[in-house]
Structure 1
Amino acid sequence: MKIVIPGGSGQVGTMLARAFQKRGDEVVVLSRHPQPAPWRTASWDGKYPGAWAHEMDGADAVIHLSGRTVNCRYTPQHRKEILESRTLTTLAVGQAIAAAACPPKVWLNASTATLYRHSIDKPQDEFTGELGGNEPGVPETWGFSVGIGLQWEAALTAIPTPATRKIALRTSMVMSPDKDGVFDVLLGLVRHGLGGTQGPGTQYLSWIHDQDFVRAAQFLIENDEVSGPVNICAPNPIPNQDFMRAIRLANGTQMGLPASKWMLEVGAVFLRTETELILKSRRVLPAVLQQAGFEFIFPEWPSAAQNLVRRWRNLQG
C-alpha cells in the first residue's frame, strides 16, 4: 500500500510511518521542513495544493495530522495559528484528493476527543456523547478548544470526495515511551517525586497506548464499513488520581507530591501552557472501534503503564 501522511514529521506521524514501513508499505511524509528519514519525505506549505498534490494520485490511504501544538497559552495569535494549522491544511488535502485522477480509498484526518463535554458523571461515545463548549462554570478556553475541533471536522467534510471514505480521528492522549511525549513528561514528574494527584483527581483521562493507536489506524484503513467520527482511545478511561498512581507503581515509586488546582494554574502561566490538558475530564469511549470488532492489546491503564515504563527504560539504555 502507499500511505501519504501530511504533517507526519511529528511524534505521532513518525510512529505511524515507522509501523507502516516496517510492514512493507510505501510511506510518504509531507512536511514544511523535510528532514532525512527512513521513508520518503516531500515538501508542502500546508495551505495550497502544489507539487505535493500528485502524491495523492494513486495512494491507498491518506492520514492527515497537521496542527500546531495546543501546549501553549491561548493568546490571540496562538488561537489563530491553532485554527489555521488545522483547517487550512485539511482543506488543502481535500482539494488535492478531489483533483486526483485516482484518489485514495480512505482519508483519515486528525481531530480531538476534547470535543466532548467535561464529563465525570457518564462516558461519552460517538453515538450518545454530548459536545462541550457550553458547560456552566468552565473556563472560556475550554469552549475555544471545542470550537477548534468542530471547525476542524467541518473542513474535513467541506470538499466532496465521493471516491474517498473519510474518518475523523477523535484522538485522546497517545501514550508512547518516546522522548518529549505525554508519557515521558508524566514519568519525569513521577521520577522526581512530583507525580501525585493533579487537581481534584476525580477528572477522567482518556488515553491510548501507542501500539493500539497504530493498530487502530491500520484497522480503519482496512475496514471499508467505518466512516465519520471515530474515538481513538482505550475502552477504560481512568480518574487522574488512579492514572498517576499506576505510573508510580509501574516505576516503583512510593510517593508523589500532589498538585492542587491553584498550583497548576500558577505553573501553567510560568510554563506558558493551559491547565485544560490536565483539569478537563475526558471520559471517552471507543464505541465505533469496538462495534467494528477492533480488539485492544492494552485496554487497561495499569498494564499499559508497565509496558511503557519498561520500554522507556530500554530507550534510555
Structure 2
Amino acid sequence: MKIVIAGGSGFIGEKCMEFFIQNGHEVIILTRNAKKHRSEKVAAVEWLNEGAKPEQELEGADVFINLAGVSLNAGRWSTHHKQQIYNSRIAATNELLRIISVLSKKPAVLINASAVGIYTVSLTERYTEKSAVVPNDFLGKTVQDWENASKRVKQYSVRTVFMRFGVVLGKEGSALTQMAMPYKFFAGGTVGSGEQWISWVHVKDVVRAIDFAIHNNRVQGPVNVTAPNPTKMKAFGKTIGLVLKRPHWLPVPSLALKIALGEKSKLVLQGQYVQPKVLEEEGFKFQFPTLEGALKDLLPL
C-alpha cells in the first residue's frame, strides 16, 4: 500500500513509519522540511508552506494518517500556546481534506488522530465510543472540533476513523519520561489525589491499532485506543516504583503542579476511565494489556 503520514516525524508518527516500512509498504510523510526528513526508505513531501503543492506527489495513495499538530506536552499552556495547539490541528486537517478533494483517486481510509480528552473528566464514569461527548474544557473542545473537521472527508466516500488516544507510553518523547524521572532519583510518589484515572496505552499497541483499523473495513468513526485496564494515578506510580525498584513515597501536591504547569496540569491531575470497546469487539488483541507488562518493556528509559 501507499501510506501518507502527516506528522510522520513526531513520536507516534516515527513508530508508524518504521512499522509500515518493515511491512513492505510505501511511506510518504508530509512535512514543512522535506529535505531534512527525506531518506532512501521514506519519501518526504513539503506541505503547509507557501507555494507547496503536495497533491502532485500523492496520487494513488491508499491511506492517509493524520497525526499533525503541536505537541500537548511542549511548553506551558499559555493563551498563545493553546491557540497553536488548536490552530495546528485544524489547519493540518483542512489541508488534508483539500488534498484529498483534488486527487483523482481518493484514498480508501483516513485515520485521524484524536484523544480521550474529548470525554469529560470523571472519577466514576466509564466511557466507551458510544458515550455522550459533552466537552467542557480547552482540550475537550479542541478534540471535538478536530474530529468534526475530519468528518467532512466523508463527502468523498472515504472511510474515516478517529483514533482517540489515551496516555501513550514509550521510551522517548512520551509522558512516561517525565513520570518516571522522579523515581530514578528516589523521589517518586503520588501525583495529586492519586484517585484520578489514567487510560494509558503502549505505543506499540497504538501502531498495531492503527494498522488494524486500516485493514478492517468495519472499523469507522470513534475508536478508543487505550489498554483494557485503566489505572488510578496512585497505582500507576507504585507500578513505576516496582519496575524500577525505587520507593514510592514523596507525594506531589495538586497545588504545586497547578502553579508549575498552569492549565496543563489537568493532563495529570484529572482523567477518565476509557474502555476500548470497538477494538475488543472487532477482535484486536493488545500486546500489552497490563501496566506492569508495558512498563517492564519500556523501563528503564
TM-score range, shorter chain: over 0.9
1:103 aligns with 2:97: no
CA contact (8 A) 2:240 2:295 kept: yes
1:208 aligns with 2:211: no
CA contact (8 A) 1:56 1:104 kept: no
**Matched residue count:** 297
CA distance in 1, matches of 2:158, 2:52: 20
2:224 equivalent in structure 1: 231
* More divergent stretch after superposition (229-238 vs 54-63): 54-63
Q: What TM-score, normalized to structure 1?
A: 0.88
Please tell me the residue identity of whatever aligns with 1:300. T
Q: What TM-score, normalized to structure 2?
A: 0.93
Residue 129 (structure 2) aligned to one of 110, 126, 129: 126
2:92 equivalent in structure 1: 89
Residue 174 (structure 1) aligned to one of 168, 174, 190: 168
CA contact (8 A) 2:77 2:261 kept: no
CA contact (8 A) 1:49 1:96 kept: no
How far off is 1:190 after superposition? 1.4
1:43 aligns with 2:46: yes
Deviations along 1:124-173, one digit per CA (max 9) or x if unpaired, are 1111354331xxxxxxxxx1111111110111013444331111111111
CA contact (8 A) 1:190 1:256 kept: no
Residue 242 (structure 1) aligned to one of 218, 235, 244: 235
How far off is 1:50 after superposition? 4.0
Please tell me the residue identity of whatever aligns with 1:116. Y
CA contact (8 A) 2:45 2:57 kept: no
Where in structure 2 are the equivalents of 1:136-151 lying within 5 Å?
A: 143-151=137-145
Please tell me the residue identity of whatever aligns with 1:105. A
Please tell me the residue identity of whatever aligns with 2:165. T
1:28 equivalent in structure 2: 28
CA 77–255 in structure 1, closer or farther in 2 if over 3 Å, else same: closer
How far off is 1:300 after superposition? 1.0
How far off is 1:33 after superposition? 2.3
2:289 equivalent in structure 1: 299
Q: Percent identity?
A: 31
Q: CA RMSD in A?
A: 1.8
Where in structure 2 are the equivalents of 1:139-288 lying within 5 Å?
A: 143-178=137-172, 180-268=173-261, 274-288=264-278
CA contact (8 A) 2:48 2:95 kept: no
1:64 equivalent in structure 2: 66
Secondary structure of 1:274 counterpart:
helix
CA 200–107 in structure 1, closer or farther in 2 if over 3 Å, else same: same
CA distance in 2, matches of 1:95, 1:160: 13
CA distance in 2, matches of 1:83, 1:255: 36
Please tell me the residue identity of whatever aligns with 1:70. L
CA contact (8 A) 2:127 2:274 kept: yes
